Amino acid sequence: MVAHLFGAVSSPACANIALHQTAVDNKADFDPEVVDSIFRNFYVDDFLKSVDTDEQAVATAKATRELCQKGGFRLTKWICTSEVVNDSIPVEDKAKTLQHDLNYSDQQIERALGVAWLVDTDTF
């Protein structure tokens, strides 16, 4: 086979294996923390990670997008509790609610791992 059908029972496992192989194949070109994030911070198709500073978050998001791109993965629907981090993400890769004018004081609700996430208070 040279293609894998979306929707097959094995699709999530195949995608996960391909993502992990991308990290292995490119580990020499990226910070070990970023490579480790591929293994530890993806849950099906959600990437959830917490870091201490906006600067770390911007760098992590950029490097993670670059590493995944090496394997043909384009990470989209990015959203963060930090306006600084959200502003660093290309518009086309942001969550739909961030692609339009977002008032950060509004109650922002996203879904993460099937759970409602209140972005402004960073609570589930």
- How confident is the model over 61-99, as pLDDT tens digits? 999 999 999 999 999 999 998 989 999 999 999 988 776
Q: Is residue 48 part of a domain?
A: yes
Q: Is residue 106 part of a domain?
A: no
Instruction: State both tokens at 58.
Output: 């911007």
pTM: 0.83
Q: Is residue 2 part of a domain?
A: no
Owning domain of residue 35:
11-95
Q: Is residue 122 part of a domain?
A: no
Among 12, 13, 56, which Cα is nearest to 34's?
56
Q: Is residue 71 part of a domain?
A: yes
Question: What is the number of domains present in the chain?
Answer: 1
Q: Is residue 90 part of a domain?
A: yes
- What is the rounded average pLDDT of the residues 31-50? 92
* DSSP track, 47-100: E----SSHHHHHHHHHHHHHHHHHTT-----B--S-HHHHHHS-GGGB-GGGSS
